[in-house]
Amino acid sequence: MSAAQVLERRGEQGQGGERGASPGSQPTPPPRREKKTSFDVVIIGAGPAGYTAGIYCSRARRETLVLSGLLPGGQLVNTTEVENYPGFRNAIMGPDLMLDMRAQAERMGTAIVDDEVTNVDFARRPFRVMTASEEYTARAVIIATGASPRKLGVPGEGELAGKGVSYCATCDGPFFRGKEIVVVGGGDSAMEEATFLTKFASRVLLVHRRGELRASRIMQERAMADKKVEMALNTTVGAISGDGRVERVTLRDASGSERDVGAGGVFVAIGHEPNTALFRGQVELDARGYVVVRDGARTSVEGVFAAGDVHDHEYRQAITAAGFGCMAALSADRHLAASQ
């Protein structure tokens, strides 16, 4: 079922009302088309987790709706080549991969509506999921709203995202062979990214705004033990520039003086923000705002499941998100079967 087919047809035979009307009689008014708003499963989010959950729920013959939010396709629509999603001998472009996932879910019967969820009510059954213009009810809900990488907010970052500016070393590291790279951040993930990137880069400059790193000692030691890693503490990034690709990074030290360093890439590793504001007070979140899951995909509310980066702050990959989407869908199907 396509997004357009969310519209449930009423009085199909009456379509084209004039047909069959006797001469002189009033034409039959066009049939009233009412939007379908009640589903077995509503999936919030349309990244790899949400679409995969849609595919599995629909194949299990559950009436399924995906609400995509402001970024249909999720984080991968903001990238170019994806080399590590299985099934593609050659790299596939992120947006193409996500369009294919969407089409696959639609072919299985998933309804997809490009609308943002503004409120949810998991306190009563059926659950309610609201957008600015609609209220949907669901017997089960899958939260797949992902997480957004924190941005530096400096000139050049947005324009050069995907053209040398990256937020994921595991994803993009192999594209930076032999290049000088700047990694920004001072926590464990920045250390991990810097260490990982030494496999490819000729030099990794780790830039951190404070005089001390936040990372655990062991992670710091591991990063510092590598001869390719250099540190620039008490330093911030002022701008990223280049002609269509990252070529330079402007660094600013504590005294405010600036210098340009040549760089073929910038990896921003200053954390992620889970997209969970909507669920505060509805399901249990951890101290960092990620959804807490137990036994695979279960949240603190029976019948509400979570999948992907919205709960997984460790792996954060398209394939793991898709795997979690599958798990959440199977759990939702079992929940529905048990509560029928």
Ligand X SMILES: Cc1cc2nc3c(=O)[nH]c(=O)nc-3n(C[C@H](O)[C@H](O)[C@H](O)COP(=O)(O)OP(=O)(O)OC[C@H]3O[C@@H](n4cnc5c(N)ncnc54)[C@H](O)[C@@H]3O)c2cc1C
Query: Hey, which residues are catalytic here?
Result: 168, 171-172
Strand boundaries in 45-171, DSSP class E: 64-67, 81-82, 92-93, 111-113, 117-121, 127-131, 135-143, 147-149, 165-166
Among 64, 189, 220, 275, binds ligand X (CB under 6 A): 275
The tokens describing 154, both together, are: 């400096």
Backbone φ/ψ region at 57: left (φ over 0), alpha (ψ -120 to 50), beta: alpha
Q: Which 8-state DSSP code applies to residue 277? A: G
- Residue for token digits 């993930």? 189
Question: Contact 41/336 with Cβ under 8 angstroms?
Answer: yes
The CB-of-18 to ligand X minimum distance in angstroms stands at 41
In the bound state with ligand X, the residue whose beta carbon lies nearer, of 73 and 242, is 73
How many residues of this chain bind ligand X (CB under 6 A)? Answer: 40
Distance CA 98, CA 109 (A): 17
| Distances from the Cα of 190 to the Cα of 12, 20, 94, 237, angstroms | 59, 71, 24, 15
In the bound state with ligand X, the residue whose beta carbon lies nearer, of 76 and 190, is 76
The CB-of-49 to ligand X minimum distance in angstroms stands at 3
In the bound state with ligand X, the residue whose beta carbon lies nearer, of 297 and 318, is 318
Among 58, 64, 110, 145, binds ligand X (CB under 6 A): 145
Number of helices followed by number of strands (H, E) in the chain:
6, 21
DSSP H or E stretch at residue 117: strand 117-121
Write out the binding residues for ligand X, residues 36-95 only, by CB under 6 A: 44-50, 67-72, 74-76, 78-79, 82, 84-85
In the bound state with ligand X, the residue whose beta carbon lies nearer, of 77 and 301, is 77
Strand boundaries in 168-314, DSSP class E: 180-184, 203-207, 229-232, 235-241, 248-253, 258-262, 265-268, 272-274, 304-306
217 class by beta-carbon count within 10 Å (0-12 exposed, 13-18 middle, 19+ buried): exposed
In the bound state with ligand X, the residue whose beta carbon lies nearer, of 39 and 167, is 167
The tokens describing 252, both together, are: 């600013």
Write out the binding residues for ligand X, residues 163-192 only, by CB under 6 A: 167-168, 171
The CB-of-136 to ligand X minimum distance in angstroms stands at 11
The CB-of-305 to ligand X minimum distance in angstroms stands at 13
In the bound state with ligand X, the residue whose beta carbon lies nearer, of 14 and 196, is 196
Write out the binding residues for ligand X, residues 298-337 only, by CB under 6 A: 308-310, 316-319, 321
In the bound state with ligand X, the residue whose beta carbon lies nearer, of 74 and 185, is 74
The CB-of-323 to ligand X minimum distance in angstroms stands at 10
Contacts of 105 (CB under 8 A, 6+ apart): 51, 54, 55, 58, 66, 112
Binding mask 114-133 for ligand X (x = CB under 6 A): --xx----------------
The CB-of-114 to ligand X minimum distance in angstroms stands at 9
Distance CA 141, CA 146 (A): 15
Question: Contact 246/266 with Cβ under 8 angstroms?
Answer: yes
The CB-of-43 to ligand X minimum distance in angstroms stands at 9
Q: Is 264 in the site for ligand X (CB under 6 A)?
A: no
Under the rule (CB under 6 A), what is the footprint of ligand X?
44-50, 67-72, 74-76, 78-79, 82, 84-85, 116-117, 144-146, 149, 167-168, 171, 275, 278, 308-310, 316-319, 321
